[in-house]
Amino acid sequence: MDISVVIPLYNEEESIAELVDWIKKVMDDNNFSHEIIIIDDGSIDNSWQIINKLSNTNSDVKGIKFRRNYGKSAALYSGFEAAQGNVVITMDADLQDSPDEIPSLYKMIIDEDYDMVSGWKKKRHDPLSKTIPSKFFNRTSRKLTGIKLHDFNCGLKAYKNELIKNIEVYGEMHRYIPVLSKQAGFNKIGEKVVHHYKRKYGVTKFGLERFINGFLDLLSITFITKFGKRPMHLFGTLGTLMFFLGFIAALWLGIYKLYCLSHGIEAGLVINSPYFYISLTTMILGTILFLAGFIAELVSRNSPKRNFYQIEKTLNYKK
């Protein structure tokens, strides 16, 4: 099979049929063998009924329904598990991503041997409340990760099948799949300017909390990329350094007290000095950091997968 199109959605009943027809037209015009995998992330509208109807009339349409809303990352991960195409295309269901981009994305993966190609919505049709924070996050992501992409969070992306089978998308990490890909050893990451359309139906499903979650996940993915397999290198080093500094400070206080006693110089009690408590606190923090590194090392070597979701129903697909 040439292409798997993975579409996570939540309450997008107005646009599903139109999007599927658009995708099928592109596939037929280019003679691509394909499948369309639609993941209903716990919608409370008629999205699943529409997916069911489309699946009954077209065997290329496959559906996965979650019991409740687990988030876009879980939906993508479930779709990646089901995908069988040589190239996997992801896109949002709100008709802001254009299926007309699929042939060129497919060509970049097959002919130019990219592991992954990320869309770049160079001209966005979104309100400033989305575009300004997005520019900040993209700039920060580029600096912290070293991956030179303009739009990490673009839903329109293309992947080699091998790549999506070797990464785990969890939490809010769908924004940082390029980082997860690089971490997994897939380093040939490209970018393509894509068309972006105004939302035709409904409203965005993401609120202000996504900016906080995105920032926290950026810190998390940065840490995982650099120290995920060796947390002791970070925490152990910081802990040892802090303990050493605290110990030296406490030792200096003790030596100074002995010096004063041996020379008949009046000196107060060591425990009355604020430096004693600073040095003691530093040693305690150093010990805590060292133990945190040790525990993190144990966890990283024995941790199971972090994704959890419950599938209620499937269409044309069995896991």
Residues 276-293: pLDDT tens digits? 899 999 999 999 988 888
In 3-state terms, the chain is what percent helix, strand and coil (to 5)?
50, 15, 35
Question: What distance lies between CA 39 and its chain's CA centroid?
Answer: 18
d(CA 271, CA 262): 19
pLDDT, residue 190, reads 95
Owner of token pair 């290198």 = 233
- Quote the DSSP letter at residue 122: S
More confident residue, 60 or 140: 60
Q: What does the domain layout of the chain look like in residue ranges?
A: 3-227, 231-302
Which residue(s) pair with 9 in the sheet?
A: 40
Residues 153-177: pLDDT tens digits? 899 999 999 999 999 887 778 888 9
Residues 244-262: pLDDT tens digits? 999 999 999 888 888 888 8
Tokens standing for residue 139 = 């700039």
Q: Where are the alpha helices (DSSP H) in 124-265?
A: 128-145, 161-164, 177-183, 209-227, 231-262
Q: Is 124 helix (H, G, I), strand (E, B) or coil?
A: coil
pTM for the whole structure:
0.73
Q: Is residue 304 very low, low, confident or very high in pLDDT (cuts 50, 70, 90)?
A: low
Query: What topology is assigned to 3-227 in CATH?
Result: Spore Coat Polysaccharide Biosynthesis Protein SpsA; Chain A (3.90.550)
pLDDT, residue 129, reads 62
Phi-psi region of 113 (alpha: psi -120 to 50; beta: other; left: phi over 0): left
- What's the whole-number mean pLDDT along residues 64-75? 93
pLDDT, residue 300, reads 59
Q: Is residue 112 very low, low, confident or very high in pLDDT (cuts 50, 70, 90)?
A: very high
Which DSSP string corresponds to 144-161?
Answer: HH----S-TT-S-EEEEH
Q: Give me the sign of the Cα torsion angle 142, 147, 153, 154.
A: positive
Beta-carbon contacts of 21 under 8 Å, excluding residues fewer than 6 positions away, are: none
**What is the side-by-side strand order in the sheet with 189-193?**
189-193, 116-120, 157-160, 87-90, 3-9, 34-40, 61-66, 311-315
Return the biggest CA–CA distance within the chain: 98
H/E element, 3: strand 3-9
Worst-scoring range by mean pLDDT, 110-114, 140-144, 186-190? 140-144
d(CA 41, CA 48): 10
Residues 21-59: pLDDT tens digits? 999 999 999 999 999 999 999 999 999 999 999 999 999
Q: What secondary structure, in 3-state letters, does 274-291 show? A: HHHHHHHHHHHHHHHHHH
Worst-scoring range by mean pLDDT, 5-9, 15-19, 228-232, 283-287? 228-232
Phi-psi region of 264 (alpha: psi -120 to 50; beta: other; left: phi over 0): left
H/E element, 22: helix 16-29
